Structure 1
């Protein structure tokens, strides 16, 4: 659960960076922040869905 919360926090910070860099018209930074937002957001959502469906964290291998 800690991993999903951390990834979600990073995705939120990337969203803030997108808005801030759009105001500065720094489009290369907007691109990197947007790419980071998509990647970290997707991994966060996938991790949360995995925790909900499997009922725990990482698979145990049993």
Structure 2
């Protein structure tokens, strides 16, 4: 349950990093930010598919 939240937050930060590196025209930063976005975005999607959304108690 907490894993989905953590992966989601890292994915959102990676989206911001991709936007910022494109704006600053930093190609190496873009490569790392996009790689992070691809990996953690995939983990987020697959964790949501496998485990579902976090439940409210």
TM band (smaller chain): 0.7 to 0.9
Q: How many residues align?
A: 52
1:19 matched to 2:33? The reply is no
TM-score, normalised by the number of residues in structure 2:
0.85
Structure 1 position 33 matched with structure 2 position 44: no
| TM-superposed deviation, 1:33 | 0.3
**Structure 1 alignment gaps of length 5 or more:** 53-62
1:5 CA drift (Å): 1.1
Q: What is the TM-score normalised by the length of structure 1?
A: 0.78
**Structure 1 ranges of 4+ moved more than 2 A:** none
Aligned mates of 2:4, 2:41 — CA distance in 1: 9
Give the CA RMSD over aligned residues.
0.8
Gaps of 5+ in 2: 53-57
Shift, 1:47, TM fit? 0.7
Higher relative contact order (CA 8 A, sep 6+): 2
